[in-house]
Structure formats: C-alpha cells, structure tokens
C-alpha cells in the first residue's frame, strides 16, 4: 500500500521568504549609501538635533510639539512652557486649557496640549516621572509614536535608531535608498542599507541636508555634495545655476 504524500501548505511551499524591504539590498546599494553618508557628513560634521532641551523630559515634550511644526518655532515656545512646568509632575497637574496659551503658535496646539499633559501624567503614574529608555514603554505614552520614540532613544539614550521625519522620508526616496510609501518602511530600508553604528547621526545629517540644500520645493542640486550619486538630480538653466552658486557664496561670507 502506498502512503499518500502529505500536501504542503502554502507557507511550506514558498521558495523564498517574503522580503521586508522595498528594494533589493545589494552590496552596491550599501556601498553607495555609505558613500552618500560620508559626503554628507563632510558637509555637515556638526549635524545634531536642532531642538533645545536640557533633560529627557524637555526632549520628549519638545519632540511631541515638533509634529508638523518647525524646530525653530518649538524653540521659541518651550522656554516659557518649561519655566511654568519644569518637570513631569508639574505638567501633569495642569489642564490642557492652561497649557494651550504657551504653545498656541505651534499648530495643532489643542491636541498637542492634551497630549503633553497626558504624557506627563503617564510618566508620573508609570515611570515615577522619568522618561523610560525602552521603545515599548515610550510608544505607550500619550502623543508618542515610533518617530518620537526613535528621536528620544537616539538622542537621550544613544540607542541605535533612525527616526524618519518628512525630510528623511523624502531624501531616502530621492537618493534611491528606499521606494517605500510609509515612514516605517523607509526606516526599515535605511536600517538595511546603512551600518548600524551610523544610524543616529544619519538621521540628523539627512535632516540638515533636507533643510539646507535638498529642499522640497526647489532642491539646490548644483550645490549638492552627492548630486553625482543621486538618481533624482535635477538640472537647471545656466542663469538659475549661476544664481544658486552666487547665493551660496553670499551665505558663506563672514
């Protein structure tokens, strides 16, 4: 009697595991990514967060406030906010309505006021007023998503992480380091192509480049140190090219 061969499930029959990145990760891609990062690090050796903060509590609140808002604007409102509420305990005792006037110019100020007050309460109730150092606990706090958690982990605790904001998302795609359509997927791609020990600085370097050169509306490709490595490089008429170079020269004058 012949014993029938058991049928393979769909999972068993797959010839290769499903990829977790949006593009094929090759040695060539990794090498180009490192070369891009090296050149950008030369241009922006001092790249770091541009949010002003003095401790972990101020950092997490500032990052929550920075959603859909510039760091410059956040830095304008946080001195008065932290003078009134210097720690999680004091902020937890406030109402959202009391906090709103301090952050009114940040945009989405009502929801942000609710979030930072609730976040402060969570810190007091769950972590004795201290900012936790693990991802799960951070993402359980009000107003804290993956990007905010990554910023706190990398800046406060030096944990290897890549926070993907609008600049990092846009530049990763323009530079051909990702084809993903979500911040989480872009983060996964960057983690695959960049050496882990460079994740933290890469986040800041890409943001600085996005703010200073590779701008969303009009990227300054003639001034870009990685233009030759960028598949999205744009060309401009000679007159505009010359104006960009002249403007850059004026900015560099003492």
CB 113 within 8 Å of CB 107: no
Answer yes or no: is pLDDT of 75 > 90: yes
- pLDDT value of residue 16: 40
**Is residue 13 scored above 70 in pLDDT?**
no
Confidence of residue 17 (pLDDT cuts 50, 70, 90): very low
Residue 4 has pLDDT above 60, yes or no: no
The catalytic position among 112, 122, 165, 201 is: 165
Amino acid 234: pLDDT: 72
What is the reported pTM?
Answer: 0.84
Question: Which of 112, 121, 147, 174 is the catalytic position?
Answer: 147
Show me where the domains of the chain are located: 32-46+162-252, 56-156
Q: Out of 1.10.340.30, 1.20.1740.10, 1.10.8.50, 3.30.450.20, which CATH number does the structure's domain 56-156 have? A: 1.10.340.30
* 8 Å CB contact between 100 and 112: no
Q: pLDDT, tens digit, for every residue of 33-68?
A: 999 999 999 999 999 999 999 999 999 999 999 998
CB contact burial 143-167 (16+ within 10 A = b; e otherwise): bbebbbbbbbbbbbeebebbbbbeb
Task: Please check the confidence at residue 14 and state whether its pLDDT lies above 80.
Answer: no
Domain 32-46+162-252: assigned CATH number: 1.10.1670.10
Q: What is the reported pLDDT for 96?
A: 97
The per-residue pLDDT for range 210-245, each reduced to its tens digit, is: 999 999 998 999 899 999 999 988 765 556 556 556
Is residue 189 among the annotated active site residues? no
Q: Catalytic residue at 147?
A: yes
Q: What is the pLDDT of residues 125-179, one digit of tens each?
A: 999 999 999 999 999 999 999 999 999 999 999 999 999 999 999 999 999 999 9
């Amino acid at each position: 009697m012949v014993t029938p061969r058991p049928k393979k499930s769909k999972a068993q029959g797959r010839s290769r595991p499903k990829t977790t990145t949006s593009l094929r990760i090759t040695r060539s891609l990794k090498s180009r990514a490192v070369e891009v990062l090296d050149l950008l690090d030369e241009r922006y050796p001092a790249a770091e967060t541009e949010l002003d903060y003095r401790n972990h509590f101020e950092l997490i609140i500032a990052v929550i406030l920075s959603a859909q808002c510039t760091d410059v604007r956040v830095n304008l409102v946080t001195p008065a906010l932290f003078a009134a509420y210097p720690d999680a305990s004091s902020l937890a005792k406030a109402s959202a309505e009391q906090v709103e006037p301090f952050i009114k110019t940040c945009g989405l100020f009502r929801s942000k006021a609710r979030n930072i007050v609730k976040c402060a309460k969570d810190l007091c109730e769950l972590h004795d007023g201290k900012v936790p150092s693990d991802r799960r606990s951070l993402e359980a706090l009000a107003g804290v998503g993956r990007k905010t958690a990554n910023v706190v982990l990398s800046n406060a605790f030096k944990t290897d992480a890549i926070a993907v904001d609008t600049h990092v998302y846009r530049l990763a795609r323009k530079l051909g380091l990702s084809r993903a359509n979500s911040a989480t997927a872009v983060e996964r791609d960057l983690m695959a192509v960049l050496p882990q020990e460079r994740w933290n600085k890469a986040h800041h370097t890409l943001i600085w480049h996005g703010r200073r050169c590779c701008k969303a509306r009009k990227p300054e490709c003639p001034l870009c140190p990685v233009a030759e490595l960028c598949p999205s490089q744009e060309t401009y008429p000679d007159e505009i090219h010359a104006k960009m170079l002249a403007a850059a020269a004026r900015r560099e004058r003492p």
